[in-house]
Structure 1
Amino acid sequence: MKKSTATLLVSAFLLLALVLVGYYNITRPRVLILHSYDPEFSWVKGLDASLRKSLKGLQRPLLTRWHYMGLRGAPGTQFQETAAASAKRAVASFEPKILVVFDDIAAELVTPELLNRPDIQIVYAGIDEDLAHHGFDRASNATGMLERIPVAALRDAVSHLGQGRPLRVACIGDARPVAEAEAAQVSAFDWRPHKLLPCEQVDNFPAWQEAVGRLGQQADILFVAGYRGLHRQPGSTEVVPPAEVGSWTEAHSQALTLASKITFVPDGGAIAITPSPQEHGQAAALLVGRLLKGEAPGSLPAETGKAFVVSVHQARLQRLGYQLPPVYEAAARAAGTLQ
């Protein structure tokens, strides 16, 4: 009898514990983090590290899940459709209260059918396109942070490199929409006293090589707006590895290479002044916290990123006789991006 009672009590305890765990999981707000790219991409690593740290700082129990679409480079239509279908299944199965969307590709492929739905809130970050492009300007359930090239910081760097004399700045990028958006930001900025040449965008590596050679003779600085989507040959589906593009460009350009991509210096470039992934990850987490406190997405206007990271390769600068002030070197050293 005593044994039966003890067994019954243990069973009841285990059942109660199971119910409590289930209730705890059910009542925890669900947050799905959706990335356009893969977890090994340095930009994504920076976003995730900052996001995880900031979410812990909310001191609110959450049920989180990460989904990576793996759409770096210039993925084909079928690959994009497969990745989009997988991401949509993740949303449908997890049923998040809040969906955090990083970068334009995920926003383009996944969020349109989620806009203005009352059962889900969207936090976006790392967005190069304007709000209207993704429909976020008309969505009552979306808020976030826009990614913008730190063009003022880039112009200041060009001024320091020129040591008081105006320089000619050429601009080149691949033909992806994200590169087009970046080129538009560069073109819209007032670079005076420097002269910005019209941005050129090409689809394939031979055209890139021709343009780099020509622009290097016309300019002092070559700004690279995007280089991860170049096809090996016209009409080819093979994408040239970014490190090959960056190294070739640096070796063959008569103009100093400058970019706003966090991977540019590791890929072979000389200088990069890039948006801060830490800022975007932190901003996304803070917005999640505000939504969980009951603030409406429509009451939280979109913010624009302001922080930036400096990366420098000293030998590549010296090859063309340029030198940046010590403050840039110090910033790169502090960020671990000085080579």
Structure 2
Amino acid sequence: MSLGLLTMFNASKPRIMVLQSMGSNAPWASEVDAGIRSELLRNRLPVSVEWHYMGDELQQESESVAVASARRAVARFDPDVLIAVDDEANAQIASGFTGLQRPRVVFVSIDEPPARYRYDGQLNVAGIAEILPLAAVREALPEAKDGNPRRISAVGMDSATGRAEMAQVRGGDWGPHRLVAAELVPNFEQLKNFVEARRTDTDILLVLSYAGLEMPTSNAAVTVDTGIAEWIEANAVPLPIGLHVAYVADGGGLGFAPSPRDFGERAMAMAIDWVDPSNGSVPPIMAVSEHFDVAIREGKLRARGVSMPSIYIETARLGGRYFP
């Protein structure tokens, strides 16, 4: 095939852009991408796919600079379908395309209701909302020796994702247990203050998203997300339970989280279906993902005297999320 014909062929392929809120090295983004690539391997429709990671620039630039760069990337690639991952990408970029002919939007892993981004009833929007596996957490709470309900607290980063996650936690059915404290924090120092204040009034500490949490420049001991999980495990009196996939990988002991690979596979399947000429232009049906992963670091649980039922351990093993 000549260079001219190859250029025409590539230009004629449907274009799909993946806009990640997090950085390219973030565990959540990496596993969403793994699901996307898995679906692309099964695909037989020629498509052109490009990625943009807002989090990469947020590590060195202001939020306004990162948002402006993302908008330029979308305008340059001019995708037929924009897959927007997590609340930040949807709040700051994708929601601005509602009601337009181009691009069509597939939202992924939003914790806010789709109506929050004016997605309801829009013919150019489809996607998958994220439901935190709070019922699974409630069912797995270790039995209290005294027979009393568990006292639960929750902490996360004050961001679009964190606010949406916390709204789900506050609105969750925790009976017979009770939520006694919940706070979103802007930096690591305030996270430490919250955790240390929960020494006597809390049995279970829910850890929401913290990727990108502001760290003190003078703290050489804790400089990355891994250090946050390790600090929580070393200093929290209540049992910490992570609600995102990175917590146990970062050094935590127990986690229940929505499945990022499932999000990636389903989002790309939706996008490919939408650009396939044989399927017409009807948008895919909006959906929610109730799949979740279990992650266990047994050494950390053993140190706290916590033993999980074998079904959870085997689930973590099968999902590649079991650590000794």
- The TM-score, its normalising length taken from structure 1, stands at 0.85
Could you tell me how far 1:213 is from its partner in structure 2?
1.9
After superposition, the C-alpha distances for 1:31-84 in whole angstroms (9 at most, x for unaligned) are 111111222211112111111121232310111112222259x868x6222222
| Contact residue 147 and residue 275 of structure 1 kept, 8 A | yes
Specify the code of the residue in structure 2 equivalent to 1:174: M
Which residue of structure 2 aligns with residue 276 of structure 1? Answer: 259
In structure 1, how many angstroms separate the alpha carbons of the residues matched to 2:51 and 2:190?
A: 38
Which residue of structure 2 aligns with residue 325 of structure 1? Answer: 309
Please show how residues 123-202 of structure 1 align to structure 2 within 5 Å: 123-158=106-141, 160-162=142-144, 166-202=149-185
Specify the code of the residue in structure 2 equivalent to 1:310: V
Which residue of structure 2 aligns with residue 3 of structure 1? Answer: none
- The answer as to 2:28 corresponding to 1:43 is yes
| Contact residue 229 and residue 247 of structure 2 kept, 8 A | yes
Specify the code of the residue in structure 1 equivalent to 2:241: L
In structure 2, how many angstroms separate the alpha carbons of the residues matched to 1:208 and 1:113?
A: 33
- The answer as to 2:94 corresponding to 1:94 is no
Label 1:232 to 1:336 Cα distance change in 2 as closer, same or farther (>3 A).
same
Please show how residues 7-86 of structure 1 align to structure 2 within 5 Å: 17-70=2-55, 79-86=62-69
- The answer as to 2:224 corresponding to 1:241 is yes
| Contact residue 129 and residue 287 of structure 2 kept, 8 A | yes
**Which of residues 257, 263, 284 in structure 1 aligns to 2:246?**
263
Larger Rg: 1
CA RMSD of aligned residues (A): 2.4
In structure 2, how many angstroms separate the alpha carbons of the residues matched to 1:202 and 1:53?
A: 36
**Which of residues 294, 301, 306 in structure 1 aligns to 2:280?**
294
In structure 1, how many angstroms separate the alpha carbons of the residues matched to 2:210 and 2:15?
A: 36
Specify the code of the residue in structure 1 equivalent to 2:282: A
Secondary structure of 2:181's aligned partner: coil
| Contact residue 118 and residue 141 of structure 1 kept, 8 A | yes
Specify the code of the residue in structure 1 equivalent to 2:50: R
Secondary structure of 2:274's aligned partner: helix
Label 1:113 to 1:208 Cα distance change in 2 as closer, same or farther (>3 A).
closer
- The answer as to 2:105 corresponding to 1:122 is yes
Specify the code of the residue in structure 2 equivalent to 1:330: E
Secondary structure of 1:59's aligned partner: coil
In structure 2, how many angstroms separate the alpha carbons of the residues matched to 1:215 and 1:167?
A: 13
In structure 2, how many angstroms separate the alpha carbons of the residues matched to 1:245 and 1:294?
A: 48
In structure 1, how many angstroms separate the alpha carbons of the residues matched to 2:184 and 2:35?
A: 33
Which residue of structure 1 aligns with residue 219 of structure 2? Answer: none
Which residue of structure 2 aligns with residue 338 of structure 1? Answer: 322
In structure 2, how many angstroms separate the alpha carbons of the residues matched to 1:268 and 1:288?
A: 35
In structure 1, how many angstroms separate the alpha carbons of the residues matched to 2:191 and 2:233?
A: 13
After superposition, the C-alpha distances for 1:215-272 in whole angstroms (9 at most, x for unaligned) are 1311211111233354346xxxxx9532222212111111110011111112232211
Label 1:324 to 1:38 Cα distance change in 2 as closer, same or farther (>3 A).
same
Could you tell me how far 1:187 is from its partner in structure 2?
1.4
In structure 2, how many angstroms separate the alpha carbons of the residues matched to 1:89 and 1:202?
A: 31
Ranges in structure 1 where 5+ consecutive residues have no aligned partner = 1-13, 234-238
After superposition, the C-alpha distances for 1:292-315 in whole angstroms (9 at most, x for unaligned) are 222422xx3321111111111112
Ranges in structure 2 where 5+ consecutive residues have no aligned partner = 217-221
Which residue of structure 2 aligns with residue 209 of structure 1? Answer: 192
In structure 1, how many angstroms separate the alpha carbons of the residues matched to 2:195 and 2:28?
A: 26
- The TM-score, its normalising length taken from structure 2, stands at 0.89
Specify the code of the residue in structure 2 equivalent to 1:40: N
Could you tell me how far 1:30 is from its partner in structure 2?
1.2
In structure 2, how many angstroms separate the alpha carbons of the residues matched to 1:148 and 1:34?
A: 20
**Which of residues 303, 309, 312 in structure 1 aligns to 2:296?**
312
In structure 1, how many angstroms separate the alpha carbons of the residues matched to 2:59 and 2:287?
A: 29
| Contact residue 31 and residue 63 of structure 1 kept, 8 A | yes
| Contact residue 71 and residue 80 of structure 1 kept, 8 A | no
In structure 1, how many angstroms separate the alpha carbons of the residues matched to 2:223 and 2:168?
A: 25
In structure 1, how many angstroms separate the alpha carbons of the residues matched to 2:189 and 2:41?
A: 48
Could you tell me how far 1:161 is from its partner in structure 2?
4.9
Specify the code of the residue in structure 2 equivalent to 1:103: D
In structure 1, how many angstroms separate the alpha carbons of the residues matched to 2:256 and 2:143?
A: 14
Label 1:189 to 1:20 Cα distance change in 2 as closer, same or farther (>3 A).
same
What percentage of aligned pairs have identical amino acids? 31
Secondary structure of 1:311's aligned partner: strand
